[in-house]
Structure 1
């Protein structure tokens, strides 16, 4: 696509990053979703399962599959939430904590490589733009009723 749209550039870049992380995770018998979940679970106090989905931007069905796989691999355990008997807390096992450190090192390596090859000024501009796009989306400034009536 010669004239890329902003959403095309974002999507294509995220797909490349996702593919890269999945290729790396495969070396360790994991997936990017597993690594992201490991990083999203509090390594000491556990995390309520209900907060994981929104934190990771995952649909409940996908999160359930990911957590089931992680439990089968011995990376997490589930325990009743003592403060809310209906809820479940997700805890990392010893192996889960080790894999978490591996995931953390992988993410930091990606970030360090980017920072070592792109100027701080360009990265700051990129982060500003991403923040503004997210604000516009959350403030519902993209698709307004005014625009819909013109179509």
Structure 2
């Protein structure tokens, strides 16, 4: 009995390791989203964190992404060069900087959302509704666990 549990744990550990390697591989590959041209995963996740509606303070964007203001500033410079975001002064505090998506950035945002929709459509075509719900709960728990560590 103990051998079966150890074997199962080893298999789960290998599968998780393979998943992490696949995610790392995907995180290094730029993709094209709409008319935005080549966009890195960190850039598209920044666009996603800004959101399609309104603006976000640079400090709030750093908090949403869980990175430093300096790291966000570098990302924003790259996204500005690609004409995907724009900066404006915060009207209530001259030290604050608002970041918002340009029309081209909004197009990339929508195209990225469509990738997620297609992923779940493919998932639903291969799994039962109960399996999809279980998958969602497992991903949520894994995210919670990783945020704690």
Gaps of 5+ in 1: 143-151
Q: Within the alignment, does 1:111 sit opposite 2:124 as a pair?
A: no
- Over the residues paired in the alignment, what is the CA RMSD in angstroms? 2.9
**Which residue of 1 is the match for residue 134 of structure 2?**
125
Aligned length: 137
Instruction: String of CA shifts for 1:10-47, please: whole Å, max 9, x gaps.
Output: 5234325535xx35338932112222222221323111
**Which residue of 1 is the match for residue 56 of structure 2?**
47
Q: Which has the higher helix share?
A: 2
Query: CA separation in 2, counterparts of 1:94 and 1:33?
Result: 19
**Which residue of 2 is the match for residue 79 of structure 1?**
88
Q: Could you tell me whether the CA contact under 8 Å between 2:85 and 2:102 is conserved in 1?
A: yes
Q: Within the alignment, does 1:24 sit opposite 2:31 as a pair?
A: yes
| TM-score normalised over the length of structure 2 | 0.71
Q: Could you tell me whether the CA contact under 8 Å between 2:30 and 2:39 is conserved in 1?
A: no
Which among 7, 21, 27 is matched to residue 12 of structure 1? 21
Which of 51-60 and 76-85 deviates more? 51-60
Query: CA 1:71–1:130 in 2, change beyond 3 Å: closer, same or farther?
Result: same
Query: CA separation in 1, counterparts of 2:65 and 2:120?
Result: 19
Q: Could you tell me whether the CA contact under 8 Å between 1:75 and 1:92 is conserved in 2?
A: yes
**Which residue of 1 is the match for residue 11 of structure 2?**
3
Query: CA separation in 1, counterparts of 2:92 and 2:85?
Result: 20
**Which residue of 2 is the match for residue 145 of structure 1?**
none
Gaps of 5+ in 2: 1-9
